Amino acid sequence: MPEILTYGFMQRAFMAGIMIAVICPAIGIFLVLRRLSMIGDTLSHVALAGVAGGMLWGIYPIYSALGFSVLAALAIERLRKEYAQYAELSIAIILSAGIGLATILISMGNANAAIFSYLFGSIALVSSQDIMTVMGLGVFILLSVLVFYRGLFYIAFDEEAAKLAGVPVKFINLYFTILIAMTIAISMRIVGILLVSSMMIIPVATSLQLAKSFKGAFSYSILFGLISVLIGLTLSFYGDLAPGGAIVVTAVMILMVVLVTKTARGNYLRKLAREI
């Protein structure tokens, strides 16, 4: 057995990390296709307020972050109806409210060091309770994506056509937004609140450079998520780095390699075509 897996905290980190590596891109691909990438950032800032509130009131931080994030998700959907012509306003409003509330709650408490571990992730502090929460909610999120896969697919490409096809668009939109909130809440222990939205977006951005179909993009995004988490956690262990930063930087490096390789291949094929 590799040395890194002889430590209990690393075993727990890898278990949670693998689940997060699957659910973040699985949710993120629908966010990217619907051009709603900023929702992840918004709900992550609200989750920070939930963590600060949980520490202040003696509640398990992941549960309080989940509660805050779900309420924020419901508020976003409500505001999207109020500002139908300016849908991005709902995201900006909740983002501002989340940052403001987080600032107040952090200033009221005295657990700044503990909050720091939620901001950038921590492999040493992943507990058995964290694992149970991540695994339980992670399986629920994955099952939800599979059940509503077809509806999410239709809505991602054409919401109006989805309505005409009989897809319950309003319900799926609301349910999906709640799934985003749940994903952020359970991912913050490993990736960190400030970086979790990156894990929803960057593997998907990489997959879109290679895939020729939606299923291909879905599969590639999960693959790149897994690679990023496995390499990132390994680097964080041996280099004593923040796991969230190591994971996200790894994901960005993979994206850069794919872009450079694709560009070089395109240039080579064009040169070959001219020679022929």
What structural domains does the chain harbor?
3-198 (1.10.3470.10)
- pLDDT of 84 reads 66
Token pair for 179 = 């799934």
- pLDDT of 203 reads 95
Neighbours of 147 (CB within 10 A): 11
The Cα–Cα gap between 211 and 145 comes to: 20
Report the SS3 class of residue 74. Answer: helix
- pLDDT of 273 reads 72
- pLDDT of 207 reads 95
Q: What are phi and psi of 256, to 5 degrees?
A: -65, -45
Whether the CA torsion 205, 69, 248, 224 is positive or negative: it is negative
Whether the CA torsion 239, 241, 244, 245 is positive or negative: it is negative
- Cα angle 39, 42, 47; round to 5: 120
- pLDDT of 34 reads 83
Q: Are 87 and 70 in contact (CB under 8 A)?
A: no
Residue 270 CB burial class (10 angstroms; 0-12, 13-18, ≥19): exposed
For residue 183, what are the CA distances in angstroms to 70, 75, 127?
10, 17, 18
Q: At what angle do helices 8-33 and 149-157 cross, to 10 degrees?
A: 50
Residue by residue, pLDDT tens for the chain (276 residues) are: 577 888 888 888 899 999 999 999 999 999 888 887 788 888 888 988 898 888 888 888 888 998 998 899 888 888 877 776 666 788 888 888 988 998 888 888 766 667 777 877 777 778 888 889 889 999 999 999 999 999 998 888 888 888 888 888 888 988 998 899 889 888 887 888 878 888 999 999 999 999 888 999 999 999 999 999 999 999 999 988 888 889 999 999 999 999 999 888 877 777 777 776
